[in-house]
Amino acid sequence: NAGVTQTPKFQVLKTGQSMTLQCAQDMNHEYMSWYRQDPGMGLRLIHYSVGAGITDQGEVPNGYNVSRSTTEDFPLRLLSAAPSQTSVYFCASSPFPREWGPIYGYTFGSGTRLTVV
């Protein structure tokens, strides 16, 4: 089925460990993004990409790296995990934002619940 696939669904890390959250979409969407969701704060944009080879920072980029070598994949890397990065992470994709023709707009992955101890 077409959509956004995120892995893993759950992860526990120790402070200082590194890991990569995977995100893949098969809808040929140009725009991909990573968000974190924390209680009472809504979703906050970490990094985004408007196409292969192009990435940019969002609202809360510190502590995270991204790359976009293909249209399909947009991994999020935590280089040295900290307890403040305990959150639920969502990957989302859409056709380029300025086009509002599609009915369904954004497509979100199912989320990754990350706990850093």
Partner 1 sequence: KNEVEQSPQNLTAQEGEFITINCSYSVGISALHWLQQHPGGGIVSLFMLSSGKKKHGRLIATINIQEKHSSLHITASHPRDSAVYICAVGDTGNQFYFGTGTSLTVIP
Q: Given the complex with partner 1, which of 17 and 61 has the nearer CB atom?
A: 61
According to CB under 8 A, which residues from 34 to 73 bind partner 1? 35, 40-45, 48, 50, 56, 58-59
| CA distance to 3, 12, 16, 43, 95, per residue, from 48 (Å) | 18, 24, 24, 13, 13
Position among 28, 69, 84, 110 found at the interface with partner 1 (CB under 8 A): 110
Nearer to partner 1 by Cβ, of 72 and 108: the residue is 108
- 3-class DSSP state of 83: helix
Residue with structure tokens 């292969």? 52
Give the nearest distance from C-beta 16 to partner 1 in angstroms: 27
The DSSP-derived string for 18-41 is: -EEEEEEESS--SEEEEEEEETTT
Residues in touch with partner 1 (CB under 8 A) = 31, 33, 35, 40-45, 48, 50, 56, 58-59, 88, 90, 92, 97-98, 100, 102-108, 110-111, 113
